[in-house]
Structure 1
Amino acid sequence: MEKIRHDLRLSETITPFGVGAITDIRGESLMASDTSWWDAKFAPEISCDRLMARLGAGVLRQPPTHSGWAGKETPALPYWRFPEWRFCERCDRLSKLTGRKKGKWDNRCECNGLLVPMRFVAVCKKGSHIQDIPWFKWMHRGRGAELSEEVRLCRKYNEIRFRKVGSHGEGLDSLVVKCHGCGNSRSLSELVGKGALQRDGIRCVGRQPWEPEHHSEQNPCPHPLAAVQRGATGNYMAERISALDIPEERPQSAELVDRVRGHPFFGRMVSDNGGPQSEMVAGWIAEELETTTEVVRAVAEGEQSSSDDMLLDLKDGEWAAFVKKTQGGRDSRAGDFVVDGRSLDEAHGPKSLLEKVRGIGQVQRVREVRALRGFRRYDAEAALVRTDLGPNQHRCPTYPAVEMFGEGIFLRFDETEMAKWEALFDVQNRASILKRERANLDWASKRLDTPEPRYIALHTLSHLLIRRLAFESGYASAALQERIYANPDRTDRTAGILIYTAAGDAQGTLGGLVRLGEPRNLISLLVSALEDADFCSNDPVCIESDSQGASQLNLAACHGCSLISETSCETGNRLLDRRLVLGGNDVCGLLEGVLEEVRTVPVEG
């Protein structure tokens, strides 16, 4: 293995060019190895307690990086050349051989032609393995008994060529692998049929390209292979997890539980054990603490016995922290989580919009840690390959991670208005379409949020706002990220959006989003985003659709109106619907009436 220096942005080493991904650089096709190959001395550890609480045992490490000119001993990530089979663009020779020039590996043939990686590779359908197609073996197989003895026994390994035959059209039939030793040839159209590799006796080796060969002998893989194009998106599906580095706040419901338990009359209510006095005492406690008797009785009965049960995932703690910040006004504290809470009292805009928004937070500074947990290939339900395949993978695995510093806008919606809208029959009926589609896909039910009406509406609104912010903030839409807080099943119901940008190679950003988080600017941007979404270049097909996008997990949403970069969306551009935002066709939208109010101009008599 020789060190060949190429430059990648730090964030790209997590996704899309993380462990197990194919990277095309300067005519070469390379694949990143797992973290057990890293030199830990040059991979600094990153701290994020909230993220490690989710991942479990292990350590977060930043990939080895460098800036400027790279020397011989400069720390770097190890990459493997994959696929190994390449053909010469000048003489068409197909081989795995790599020449050397002046003692270094050279990407040129003996005839000085450039070596080009083969466009097809073999991917395991369920095991997430990937391997070269053994072109010599494949080319001398097929057609069973029709093959002559000369073809079956051919050993002319250096005589195979890959070329295009113009007389066969423009499809895969025109791409032919031919052996000049025995004269046999096959077109690539014979490669991509169902079960083609199995019929030719080609089996999965059960390992990743950088793993040693003895690994497959210890772990044979029984799953079939499929021939796919080297650059197909399904060859690498990264499973990334991220967390905001914020002070974990206890949800309001947990604080209420503590206040109820600490009330002087609480012991009398519990001792009565459901008797006539307990109901009366519960009413006293509820009135004094400004809550309901049902909540007080639930605490007494032990239904909310542990406040830790409220922190079910990363977003619960983040939501509680953002709510506290938005209620606190200007944030004068220093650190990596600075949010100025803004009131809508002085904001001007459509009443139908202002009554839905509860508060705005200008996120002056936020730190996010992103980690790569693993990846899958070919099928979203295939086995997850961990980022650490070394001997310590179960005891203390290493996860590639980067820390990002940036800014953003937090938008909190009124829970009363949200619950009232969400309870409408037509709204529930519309959302049930996506619920059924999600339930039919095993991977989606495990990895995607439940498409409750509030989630679909806020998720779609987030996309619309990101598209609009790209025109106003100075950031490209691909540089913006979203985080949706929309869960009606928690004791502390959530209904909010965080749109932020973060850079891994800088200590902050330029303030473009924070400026637009001013209430007067943000309300205007929301109206503009709704106006943009009201007209789609694919209408009326788009607005009337109830089945679009990847895995049919979108309703009225397409590239003309609602979709953004998949790296910016937390669900990969799924679970979107404009109609649950704008309304129409017997469906009441969350922000229905806003555009009508804006466009209504009073006529002076």
Structure 2
Amino acid sequence: MQNIRHDLRLSETVSPFGVGAIVDVLGESLIAPDTSWWDRRTSPEISCDRLVAQLGPGVLKQAPTHAGPAGKDTPSLLYWRFPAWRFCERCSKLSKLTGIEKGKFRNSCDCGGALVPMRYVAVCKTGSHIQDVPWFKWSHRGSDKGVTEEVRFCRAYTELRFVRSSKRGEGLASLRVECGKCKRSRPLSELVGVDSLIRDGIRCDGRQPWEPEGPTTQTCEAPLVAVQRGANGNYIAERVSALDIPEERPRSLQIIEQVRSHDLFTRLIDDNGGPKSEQIAGWIAEELNTETEQVLEAAFASSDEPGSPVHKLKDGEWAAFVKKMERRRDLTQGNFVVDGWTRDDYSHRNGGIHAVLSGVGQVRRVREVRALKGFRRHSPDADFIRADLDRDPKHRPVYPALELFGEGIFLQFDEAVLAQWEAQHSVRARAGILAERRSQSEWANRLDVPEPRFVALHTVAHLLVRRLAFASGYSSAALQERIYANSDRPDKTAGILIYTAAGDAQGTLGGLVRLGDPRHLFPLLLAALDDADVCSNDPVCIESDRQGASQLNLSACHGCALISETSCETGNRLLDRQLVLGGSEVPGLLEDILKAVRMPVL
């Protein structure tokens, strides 16, 4: 272990260099251990009850920070060197020993050359484990032809060399590990073959690099594969975020409470769906200013019975936004300030948009809390590794977290317009393509259900982010999306939140919320639709229905609809321009708006 200090941005401790991730810093390769190794005294706690309820019992902790140069007593996080095997740039010596000079650790060879981490590591296919490639063992294994008695009994652990020679071929064939004593030599091309480590008898250690070997280590029978240490599949993080908003009960739950507290509720239940039920429900509906069908559903609903699933985070957020929109000008103080514009405020502007948008919100201040729940390796269906591996049952799990402050724009779409549009057979068939592919994928079930409204609003959000990046002063990667589009919930949602939340200077500069004024927003939205109407990759893009990872995009590519993956909730998946702007066989949600704007005035 080396007492060397390096600086990371605070946000990087959650993503992309959170627990279990490999970090390259100034020529060194490090890995972040789980939070049981954190100094709990120097890690400030973050409060967000809504997020803790989603993660489960535990506590949110922020990594310790410092201002100015890092000193000896500065609070810090521990990182382990990984991979431990390194080679010298000058003499090519391969080892995992760390030299000491004048009582201090150094990252250089005895010859004075810099030590470079080995490019390849071994990852477990299904157990989410990662370990060093045992280079000495690997280099002395292989085909029986090259494994002589001298090679088999060689113990010259300090004689390994990592050499490059174009005489041996190109690519990995030119990179070899050689033993100076027994002269055994193997190219890296033999390392990356199918089941190569299995044939060499190299097994998974069943642990993470920072975990000590011991009786608690569980055996892992999953096969190992050799991969480059910087490969994306080595670290698949699972992060959860929540907006810090006043928790509001959805409209459906409010109706249930009002119905069940009504004086006639007992008579309605006693009739149990009999001939008088509809009449009694009508009396209740008249007093509560609602529909008879809603009263009957509320009376016999079971969503609030003990043991029912907790409503998703977005349900409470949607209810809070809707309430803020009703109040128009927001004079409150706190971390959730939204000024609302209704259809009456902008119906005279940009003909057509007011028919689709029922409200626009300028989110002047919002607080977001992000937490790292855990990670997987190699594939999304591998075993899940928690961010806290402490096995003490008395210890509350600690989740690395980060609180961010920002601003944004909220768009509320008209539910009646959406319902009428998505009821069309061609629209449902188009979205059904993505739904079928999602159901066939082993990992895509973690994504939102691609019903028509979700795909359309998700694509609109991407188009608007691309346009806002030019006008707001924020970079595209600094903008985030949050899609509220679900017709299967008791309270149907249909909205988009585009916001920025950052821990540095790009926090609340005002450039985004200013554009939330309909005078500025509607021209930007029309320009975004106009940009997407013709893609630089057309006609290939518009005619394609097999794009993106696992073919989970239809007509959407980098030329028209894709944005930074860190800005998208679904990693640039479940997008389709045709459901927004229309196609040869499918009507688009906003197709008529663009046509009306382009229609010449007579």
For residue 355 of structure 2, what is the aligned residue in structure 1?
A: 355
- Amino acid aligned to 1:213: E
SS in 2 for 1:54: helix
Structure-2 residue corresponding to 1:526: 525
Give the distance between the partners of 2:530 and 2:102, measured in 1 at CA: 63
Residue in structure 1 matched with residue 322 of structure 2 by the alignment? 323
2:333 corresponding residue in structure 1? 334
Cα distance, 1:155 vs. partner? 1.7
Q: Relative to structure 2, which stretch is displaced further, 561-570 or 117-126?
A: 561-570
Q: Could you tell me which residue of structure 2 aligns to residue 488 of structure 1?
A: 487
- Find the aligned partners of 2:591 and 2:454 in 1 and give their Cα distance: 16
CA displacement at 1:282 relative to structure 2? 2.2
Paired with 1:303 and 1:154, the residues of 2 have a C-alpha distance of 71
CA distance 1:95–1:336, shift in 2 (3 Å): same
- Deviation of 1:3 after TM superposition, in Å, equals 2.3
Separation of aligned partners in 2, 1:307 and 1:602: 61
Q: Hey, what does 1:23 align to over in structure 2?
A: 23
Does structure 2 conserve the Cα–Cα contact (< 8 Å) formed by 1:65 and 1:77?
A: no
Deviation at 1:506, TM superposition (A): 6.3
CA distance in 2, matches of 1:307, 1:598: 52
Q: Which amino acid aligns with 1:444?
A: A
Cross-structure match for 1:548: 547
The alignment status of 1:36 with 2:33, answered yes or no, reads no
Q: Which moved more, 1:378-387 or 1:542-551?
A: 542-551
Structure 1 residue 114 corresponds to structure 2 residue 91: no
Question: Counterpart amino acid of 1:143?
Answer: S
User: How much has 1:169 moved relative to structure 2?
Assistant: 4.0
Residue 208 of structure 1 aligns with which residue? 208
- Does the 8 Å contact 1:368/1:403 carry over to 2? yes
Which 10-residue stretch deviates more, 275-284 or 535-544?
Answer: 275-284
User: Which deviates the most, 249-258 or 27-36?
Assistant: 249-258
> Match of 1:299, SS?
helix
1:428-447 matched pairs, under 5 angstroms = 428-445=428-445, 447=446
Deviations 1:543-590 (A, max 9, x none): 111111112211111111111111111111111111111111211111
1:138-157 equivalences under 5 Å are 138-144=138-144, 146-157=146-157
Q: Aligned partners of 1:310, 1:24: CA distance in 2, in Å?
A: 41
SS in 1 for 2:561: coil
Moved more, 267-276 or 17-26: 267-276
Q: Is the 8 A contact 1:299 1:305 kept in 2?
A: no
**8 A Cα contact 2:255 2:298, kept in partner:** no
Give distance in 1, aligned partners of 2:274 and 2:319.
36
Deviation of the 1:334 alpha carbon? 0.4
Match of residue 100 from structure 1: 100
Structure 2: which amino acid aligns with 1:536?
C
1:286 aligns with 2:281: no
1:350-379, CA deviations, whole angstroms, 9 ceiling, x for partnerless residues?
Answer: 433221111011111111111100000001
Other-structure match for 1:11: 11
| Equivalent residue runs for 1:183-582 within 5 Å | 183-214=183-214, 218-303=217-302, 306=305, 312-347=311-346, 348-392=348-392, 395-445=395-445, 447-505=446-504, 508-582=507-581
CA-CA distance at 1:304 after TM superposition: 5.6
Secondary structure of 1:512's counterpart equals coil
Query: Relative to 1, partners in 2 of residues 1:302 and 1:166: Cα closer, same or farther, differing over 3 Å?
Result: closer
Contact between 1:154 and 1:182, CA under 8 Å: does it hold in 2? Answer: yes
Retained in 2: the 8 A contact 1:190–1:196? yes
Determine if contact 1:406/1:501 at 8 Å carries over to the other structure: yes
Write out per-residue CA displacement over residues 137-160 of structure 1, whole angstroms, 9 at most, x where no aligned residue.
Answer: 111110125421111112222222
Distance verdict in 2 for CA 1:258–1:307, change over 3 Å: farther
1:592 is aligned to: 591
Amino acid corresponding to residue 2 of structure 2 in structure 1: E
User: Which runs of 5 or more structure 2 residues have no equivalent in the other structure?
Assistant: none
Return the alpha-carbon distance in structure 1 between the equivalents of residues 307 and 365 of structure 2.
Answer: 27
| Conserved? CA contact 1:405–1:506, under 8 Å | no
TM-fit CA distance, 1:96: 0.8
Identity of aligned residues (%): 65
Do the aligned partners of 1:548 and 1:554 also contact (CA within 8 Å) in 2?
yes
Letter in 2 for 1:369: V
Q: For structure 1, which segment, 159-168 or 314-323, has the greater mean C-alpha deviation from structure 2 after superposition?
A: 159-168
Q: What is the distance in 1 between the residues matched to 2:371 and 2:174?
A: 43
How far off is 1:224 after superposition?
A: 0.5
The secondary structure found in structure 2 opposite 1:434 is helix
Question: Residue type of the partner of 2:128?
Answer: S
- CA contact 2:351–2:597 (8 Å) conserved in 1: no
> How far apart, CA to CA, are the structure 2 residues paired with 1:110 and 1:317?
61
Out of 157-166 and 12-21, give the one that drifted further.
157-166
Offset at 1:406? 0.9
**Cα shift at 1:274:** 3.4
Structure 1 vs Structure 2 CA RMSD: 1.9
Q: Tell me the TM-score normalized by structure 1.
A: 0.96
- How does 1:146-185 map onto structure 2 within 5 Å? 146-185=146-185
Residue 124 of structure 1 aligns with an amino acid whose one-letter code is: C
Letter in 1 for 2:284: I
Q: Match of 2:276, SS?
A: helix
In the alignment, does 2:126 pair up with 1:126? yes
Deviation at 1:394, TM superposition (A): 7.7
**SS of alignment partner, residue 284 of structure 1:** helix
Is the contact made by 1:344 and 1:354 (CA closer than 8 Å) also made in structure 2? yes
**How far off is 1:99 after superposition?**
1.4
Residue by residue over 1:61-86, the C-alpha shift from the partner in whole angstroms, topping out at 9 and shown as x without a partner, is 11112121111111001001111111
Mapped contact 1:464–1:562 kept (Cα < 8 A): yes
Which residue type is aligned with residue 397 of structure 1?
A: P
Residue by residue, what CA displacement relative to the aligned partner does 1:255-312 show, whole Å, maximum 9, x if unpaired?
2223333444444433444343332232233344343322222233345665996951
- Distance across 2 between alignment mates of 1:437 and 1:19: 31
Q: Amino acid of the residue matched to residue 320 of structure 1? A: A
SS of 1:438 mapped into structure 2: helix
Distance in structure 1 (CA, Å) of the matches to 2:393 and 2:330: 42
Please, which moves more after superposition, 174-183 or 253-262? 253-262
Relative to structure 2, which stretch is displaced further, 203-212 or 503-512?
503-512
Classify the secondary structure of the residue corresponding to 2:426.
Answer: helix
Is the partner of 1:602 in helix, strand or coil? coil
Where 1:520 maps in the other structure, the secondary structure is helix
Distance 2:425 2:195 in 1: 47
Q: Distance in 2 between the 1:301 and 1:197 partners?
A: 60
Distance 1:134 1:274, change over 3 A: closer
Contact 1:355 1:414 in 2 (8 A): yes
Q: Describe the shift of the 1:306–1:506 C-alpha distance in structure 2 as closer, same or farther (beyond 3 A).
A: farther
- When structure 1 is superposed on structure 2, of 157-166 and 373-382 the one drifting more is 157-166
One-letter amino acid of the counterpart of residue 450, structure 2 = P
8 Å contact kept, 2:206–2:217: no
Q: Which moved more, 1:361-370 or 1:390-399?
A: 390-399
Describe the superposition over 1:214-261 as per-residue Cα deviations: whole angstroms up to 9, x where unpaired.
Answer: 26x631111100000111000001100011111110111122223333
Change (3 A) 1:387 1:534: same
Counterparts in 2 of 1:394 and 1:539: CA distance versus 1, 3 Å: farther
Instruction: Select between 50-59 and 251-260 the one with higher mean Cα deviation.
Output: 251-260
- 1:53 partnered with 2:53: yes
SS at match of 1:218: coil
Which ranges in structure 1 are unaligned for 5 or more consecutive residues?
A: none
